[in-house]
Structure 1
Amino acid sequence: MFNVAENNFYIGQKSSIFNVEFAKQVRKFHYQLEDYQPTPLISLPLLAEKLSVRSILVKDESKRFGLNAYKALGGSYALGRLLAQYLNIDIAEIDLKTVATKLDKPLVFTTATAGNHGTGIAWAAQKMGQKAVVYMPQGSPLASAERIRRLDAECIITDVNYDDTVRLANKTAEENGWILVQDTAWEGYEEIPTWISQGYMTMPDEAIEQAAAMGADMPTHVMLQAGVGSMAGGVLGYLVDKLGAGSFQTIIAEPATADCIFRSGTSAQGDMVNVSGKLNTIMAGLACGEPNPVTWPVLKDCSNYFARVDDNVSALGMRVLGNPLLGDTRVISGESGAVTLGLLYQLCSDVSSKDSHKELGLNKESVVMIFNTEGDTHPSRYRDIVWNVKY
């Protein structure tokens, strides 16, 4: 059902681009967005007691901007940086309410997405008076495409996998003079993916602030999900700078069928390893076969463990969060959002996992922080999993 492997390349090196200093600038930008407010940090004390850990803290990104996912944090910050660059002003000087009036015509931003990133780009473009064209890989649910179209963006579902869809979006952008806003990087295309990952640092900045306000101890364990690793790298870089590398253990989880981060972290030299094919998994937002080279160094240097999990682990997490013990708060979590809670539950409750549980140092003193990165973005499948016990 899952495999956990220690990161032999860990050195605890702080990042020069994902840290508290940049997070302050990012959060200041997000304050400008009229819909901005911190998402909840939810404590699940009864589940923590059941799993024999001190506390479980869930950052619930299903409440972000009314979009049911966290991705607009990165997309909006990247668009803000691009518009500031286009107008030759500093990001701190940009006024999102008037920026469209300073352009002769709207800029066109394009991207490839499994759903949530494209929604974030479409939302940000709409808020800033710009245009968006979004490409989705084969098998993408029509509900996700329609969600993007309702934000006044054009959305095209392709007949290739996610990584090939990224290449198609890039090619189309070059041919049309559009601006590609992609959350993964390659040689010659690093600046925009860096901005996107920096945009995600608002999440942990809020979470640490909220944990302190509620009197909670700082996390001893942080569990992060990865597709290409953009979110995981940005969040981990911030936390290492804020809390200190040796103060907590980090587990990076991803689908077993799209385990490029796991394979990279367990390779002979720690080099990036790509995974090809259809990458079939219910965790559509994590179905990525090529690590982001911008954030891979952070994951390589600062992750303690890598995990690859089957779909039933994510489905379990969705059911546990959506049907809490009486007294705990209900959390609506989608397939990509619940994988870390599912893994935690398995590690702490499955007798066959006792060796991994012990190795990770999970015990009655553990404070576990996870990030619910999406809600029920695919409502019919959510019901199939939570009501009908699919997967």
Structure 2
Amino acid sequence: MLNLSKNTFFSGKTSELFSVEQAKQARAFHSQIDGYQPTPLVSLPALAKQFGVKAILVKDESKRFGLNAFKVLGGSYALGRQLAKHLNVDITEIDLKTVATKLEEPLTFATATAGNHGTGVAWAAREMGQQAVVYMPKGSPQASVDRIRGLGAECIVTEVNYDDTVRLANDTAQKNGWMLVQDTAWEGYEEIPTWISQGYMTMADEAIEQVTELGFEMPSHVLLQAGVGAMAGGVLGYLADKLDPTKFDTVIAEPKAADCIYRSGTSASGNMVNVSGELNSIMAGLACGEPNPVTWPILRDCSRYFVAVEDNISATGMRILGNPLAGDEKITSGESGAITLGTLNELIKLNSEIGLTKDSVVLLFSTEGDTNPERYRRIVWEGAFPAN
């Protein structure tokens, strides 16, 4: 059910790309968007007692701009930075409501997505008066397609997996003169993925502020989910710069069916390892086979553990969050959002040595709500993907 490996490449080296200073700039951009407010950081004291730790704190990203997921942070910031570069102005001069008046005609932004990233790009493009074309891999849920189209974007479901869909989106954007807004990088395409990961740092900056407001000590353990590693790298980069990576332990979790970060972290060289094939997992947002080269260095240098899990571990996490112990707040968390709580539960059940004690403060990010409502009900109501 779970593969856990201690990271032998840990060096504690931080990255100037993902710093407190960069996070403040991204958060300032997000703060001027209508409807911005920090998403809740929820303390689960009953569950913490059950698990034998001091605190479990969950950042609930289902409340982000009414979009049920965190991805809009990266997409909106990247679009803002792109438009600033296109207009030759500073990002501080980009106002979502007025930027369209500075352009002779709308620009078209293209992206590939498993769902949430495309939703964020479509929403940001609409808010800025621009156009979006979103490509999704085969097998994508109709609910995600409908959500993206409902935001005014064109949405095309391909016949290939996520990584090949990224290549298709890139090729089509180049042919049509569109701007590609992709949350993974490759040689020659690093700037925009960097902006996307920097956008994700807003939720980390909020979270650390909220930890203090709730009266807790800084986290001793952080669990982060990874697809290509764009979010995990941005958040970990911020935390490493803010808190010192030697002062807390980070666990990077991903599906076994798409465990490119785990395989990279357990390779002999510490170089990136790609995973091919169908990449089938209920955690669609994490079903990616090729690590992001922009964020891989920070994951390699500042993570303590890599873990790859079966789908039923995420499903268990969804049920725990959706059916809390008495006194704890309910959190609606989707498949990609609940992998970290499910992983924490499994690590405790197995008595895994990740240094948890009665004084541990554990920080988790529930990155999405019930973005696939039908499957959410099958898992939480009907018990699909049961624990072994």
| Equivalent position of 2:68 in the other structure | 68
**Could you tell me how far apart the structure 1 residues matched to 2:160 and 2:305 are?**
31
**Could you tell me how far apart the structure 1 residues matched to 2:253 and 2:264 are?**
13
Identity of aligned residues (%): 71
**Corresponding position: 1:169 with 2:163:** no
**Corresponding position: 1:371 with 2:365:** yes
| Equivalent position of 1:299 in the other structure | 299
Q: How many residues align?
A: 385
| Equivalent position of 1:97 in the other structure | 97
TM-score by length of 2: 0.99
Q: Map 1:205-216 onto structure 2 (within 5 A).
A: 205-216=205-216
Q: Match of 1:66, SS?
A: coil
The counterpart of 1:361, out of the listed 335, 355, 358, is 355
Q: Match of 2:3, SS?
A: strand
| Equivalent position of 2:117 in the other structure | 117
Q: Map 1:168-207 onto structure 2 (within 5 A).
A: 168-207=168-207
**Could you tell me how far apart the structure 2 residues matched to 1:343 and 1:158 are?**
31
Report the RMSD for the aligned CA atoms in angstroms.
0.5
**Corresponding position: 1:133 with 2:133:** yes
TM-score by length of 1: 0.98
**Could you tell me how far apart the structure 2 residues matched to 1:66 and 1:247 are?**
34
**Could you tell me how far apart the structure 1 residues matched to 2:93 and 2:320 are?**
45
Q: Map 1:229-240 onto structure 2 (within 5 A).
A: 229-240=229-240
Letter in 2 for 1:140: S
CA deviations over 1:39-60 (Å, ceiling 9, x no partner): 0000000000001011000000
Instruction: Using the TM superposition, give the Cα deviation of residue 95 of structure 1 relative to its aligned residue in structure 2, in angstroms.
Output: 2.2
| Equivalent position of 1:246 in the other structure | 246
| Equivalent position of 1:313 in the other structure | 313
Structure 1 segments (4+ residues) deviating >6 Å: none
**Could you tell me how far apart the structure 2 residues matched to 1:301 and 1:332 are?**
32
Q: Match of 1:276, SS?
A: coil
Instruction: Using the TM superposition, give the Cα deviation of residue 220 of structure 1 relative to its aligned residue in structure 2, in angstroms.
Output: 0.2
Letter in 1 for 2:232: A
Letter in 1 for 2:98: T
| Equivalent position of 1:106 in the other structure | 106
Letter in 2 for 1:188: G
Q: Map 1:271-282 onto structure 2 (within 5 A).
A: 271-282=271-282
**Could you tell me how far apart the structure 2 residues matched to 1:367 and 1:31 are?**
28
CA deviations over 1:173-198 (Å, ceiling 9, x no partner): 00100000000000000000000000
**Could you tell me how far apart the structure 2 residues matched to 1:306 and 1:58 are?**
20
Q: Match of 1:319, SS?
A: helix
Instruction: Using the TM superposition, give the Cα deviation of residue 384 of structure 1 relative to its aligned residue in structure 2, in angstroms.
Output: 0.3
CA deviations over 1:213-262 (Å, ceiling 9, x no partner): 11111100000000000000000000000011111000000000100000
**Could you tell me how far apart the structure 2 residues matched to 1:32 and 1:204 are?**
18
Letter in 2 for 1:171: D
CA deviations over 1:2-44 (Å, ceiling 9, x no partner): 0110111000001110010100100000011102110000000
| Equivalent position of 2:77 in the other structure | 77
Mind listing any 5+ residue stretches in structure 2 that lack a counterpart? none
**Could you tell me how far apart the structure 2 residues matched to 1:257 and 1:213 are?**
38
Q: Match of 1:374, SS?
A: coil
**Could you tell me how far apart the structure 2 residues matched to 1:176 and 1:255 are?**
34
Instruction: Using the TM superposition, give the Cα deviation of residue 147 of structure 1 relative to its aligned residue in structure 2, in angstroms.
Output: 0.2
CA deviations over 1:344-381 (Å, ceiling 9, x no partner): 11112x2xx12x2xx20011111000000000000000
Q: Match of 1:96, SS?
A: coil
